[in-house]
Each structure stands twice: as C-alpha cells, then as structure tokens.
Amino acid sequence: MKAFIVKKYGKKETLHLTNVNEPTLNENEVLVQIDAAGVNLLDSLIRNGEFKLFLPYKTPFVNGHDMAGVITKVGAKVAKFKVGDEVYSRVGDFRIGTFAEQIAVNESDLALKPKTISMEEAASIPLVGLTSWQALVEIANLKKGQKVFIQAGSGGVGTFAIQLAKHLGAFVTTTTSSANTALVKSLGADLVIDYKTQDFATILKDYDVVLHSNREAEILEKSLKILKPGGTLVSLTGPPTAEFAKKIGLAWPFQMLMGLLSMSVRRKAKKLNVNFKFLFMRAEGKQLTEITKLIEAGKIHPIVDKVFLFEQTNEALSYVESSRAKGKVVIKVK
C-alpha cells in the first residue's frame, strides 16, 4: 500500500511517498481502509523529533494521527465493530500512521463515524475533539455559568473547543485576528479579543478555566494571572509535568526532568492559588463516541479549511505549519 513515511527526523525533512506492507492485525484490532486523514501540528512536531523523549518512534515510520474510513477486516477478539462499519479515530500513540491507504487500529481507540457528516469532516475531528473534551470536561470540569478563555479560537482546537464550551453552558472568550472574528462568534464566542491590537491580560479577570495553546512564556504567565483563585489552566504546549510523565509510564529520571522543566510555572500557579495542568491528549474511543452524539445532535459542527489530495500531503502539512488555517486541514486519501 502507499504511505507517507518519516525517513529521518528534522525540521527541514519532508515526508516520503513509498510502498509499505499492509498492516498486520492483532486480535483486538481492525483494519481500516482510510478515506480521509486529518492533518495536525502534532504530525509536524513528530516529524521534527520534538517528542522523541517520550514518543521515540524508530525511523522509518508512517506519520499521521487522525483518520476516517471503512473497516475491511476484524481481529479475532473484536466485539464492538464489524466489516463495513464507517469509523473514525485519533489512533493510539506508537500505532500512528494515518497518512496511508490502510491502518490497523485498536478497537478501544475507535468510534462509529457520525452519520450526518462526510468522511473528510469526520477525519478533521478526533484529535481536536478529544483534546477539547479532555481539557474542558475531564480535567477542568467546566460547568454552566463558568468563564473560559480559549486561546487561538480560529485554529483547529479553538473552533471545536468554543462549540464544546458553549454546549456546556460556559461564557466563552477567545483570541483571534479581526479577519476571523465573525467565524469565532458564529461558533459561540461571547467575547472576542483581537490579539494583534489588544492585550487580553488587561481585559480579562476572574476566569474559571484557561485553555492555553501559545508557546510564549510571557503569554503563559499572563494567562495564569487572569484566573480566579482555584481556577485551572490546561496547557497544550507545556512545560510538561512530573504528573504527566508518571501517567504515561516514564521512568523516574524523566519524571524528575519534567518536574524541573515545569517547576517555575508550578510555583507561580501555587503563589496565585490556581492550578496548572499539562495535557498531551490520548486516544479514547469512548469519549469520541460522546463527541459523535453531539455532532449528530447538531451541537457541534466540524470546521474544515482545506482538503488536499493524498499526493499533496507535504503541502497540507506546510499549510498547517503556516498557522493560517481556519479550523482543520484534511487529506483525501481514497
């Protein structure tokens, strides 16, 4: 089958289209013929080697985390799915490879595709949907009437998180450029801050939750200060914590290292009496099934900026890296 592989790590490297063997199935896996694959900044960071510390993929490997497609084979112990089912997934770590014609996926990482949307739209959802769910529902326990600040509202995570937060009944504030104000307001944002001309830290205060996705240390510190006492900041960009390292099973030297990396921000959070949490989202079919219900009920709509052909996978990745995308970028594989 055809697939795009990472031959070696590096920011200047491109993915290589090549022929690889069809995946072999374990007893709890299904084989999926991929129709469409979502493209995420994570795919770029994996290629660059930025997560080698706790995701040491051995090159060459097939890249890609999101997909939607049709099951063509099932393992002996698969109970929830059958051949012909339309499914979608953010596949599990160390089982990635959605920039390909087929992939083997653990049934616990799968959900049935929402019936109301296309394969391309479905492929855009899993990573950003699960990131939003795990940040706002699982970690922050966002409730009706609370205030949440979602950074980068017109991006992949932002466009989904705004809709989820509004469904949960929160007052939603976000940042974007003036060109995207109408988009984020249409998704449910109550207050929109133009990051080019306004400083959110001088406008916002007493927030319950911040979904943080900016890589600048200054923005992280400002974000902590807008929280009310007891509030929670969930960071998608780090620094990673010892708690996170322990959760994914890293040895104690790595737990200590990540504890050191996050020591400064944790101290600042403690001084302000707020909570700092680092999130590296995980594959989770049960949560994705809950997201399917929201989509089929019309509560959340996928936002897709561009769809690229399979042969244009490198161009799709470059477009994501440009930070110009409004919502998600998808590759049409089939």
Rounded CA gap, 302 and 279, in Å? 22
Q: Sort 270 into a burial class: Cβ within 10 Å, 0-12 / 13-18 / 19+.
A: exposed
What distances in angstroms separate CA 139 from CA 132, 136, 233, 275, 276, one per listed residue?
10, 6, 10, 10, 10
Please indicate, yes or no, whether residues 110 and 186 belong to a single structural domain of this protein: no
Residue entry with tokens 């890249």: 63
Asked if residue 15 is part of any domain, the answer here is: yes
Rounded CA gap, 98 and 334, in Å? 12
Asked if residue 153 is part of any domain, the answer here is: yes
Please indicate, yes or no, whether residues 106 and 119 belong to a single structural domain of this protein: yes
Please indicate, yes or no, whether residues 8 and 87 belong to a single structural domain of this protein: yes
Please indicate, yes or no, whether residues 174 and 231 belong to a single structural domain of this protein: yes
- Check whether 63 has a pLDDT greater than 90: yes
Mean pLDDT in the chain?
97
- Check whether 2 has a pLDDT greater than 90: yes
Please indicate, yes or no, whether residues 250 and 318 belong to a single structural domain of this protein: no
Instruction: Express each pLDDT in 65-117 by its tens digit.
Output: 999 999 999 999 999 999 999 999 999 999 999 999 999 999 999 999 999 99
Please indicate, yes or no, whether residues 109 and 158 belong to a single structural domain of this protein: no
- Check whether 118 has a pLDDT greater than 90: yes
* Relative orientation angle of helices 285-296 and 126-133, to the nearest 10 degrees: 100
Q: Name the DSSP class of 267.
A: H
Tell me: cis bond preceding 56? Omega within 30 of 0 counts. no
Q: pLDDT class for 248, splitting at 50, 70, 90?
A: confident
Length, in residues, of the chain: 334
- Check whether 247 has a pLDDT greater than 90: no
The boundaries of the domain holding residue 185 are 128-278
Asked if residue 255 is part of any domain, the answer here is: yes
Please indicate, yes or no, whether residues 86 and 200 belong to a single structural domain of this protein: no
Report the 10 Å Cβ neighbour count for 33: 16
Residue entry with tokens 């709890």: 28
Rounded CA gap, 69 and 67, in Å? 7
Across 179-192, average pLDDT: 98
3-class DSSP state for residue 155? coil
As for how many domains the chain has, the answer is: 2
Asked if residue 48 is part of any domain, the answer here is: yes
3-class DSSP state for residue 212? strand
> Which helix (H) or strand (E) segment is 184 a member of?
helix 181-187
Residue entry with tokens 């339309």: 86
Instruction: Express each pLDDT in 11-57 by its tens digit.
Output: 999 999 999 999 999 999 999 999 999 999 999 999 999 998 889 99
Asked if residue 211 is part of any domain, the answer here is: yes
Please indicate, yes or no, whether residues 13 and 26 belong to a single structural domain of this protein: yes
60 phi-psi bin (left φ>0, alpha ψ -120 to 50, beta other): beta
Instruction: Express each pLDDT in 189-231 by its tens digit.
Output: 999 999 999 999 999 999 999 999 998 999 999 999 999 999 9
pLDDT of 12: 94
Per-residue b or e along 171-209, where b marks 16 or more CB atoms closer than 10 Å to that residue's CB: bbbbbbeeebbebbbebbbebbbebeeeebeeebeebbb
Please indicate, yes or no, whether residues 231 and 269 belong to a single structural domain of this protein: yes
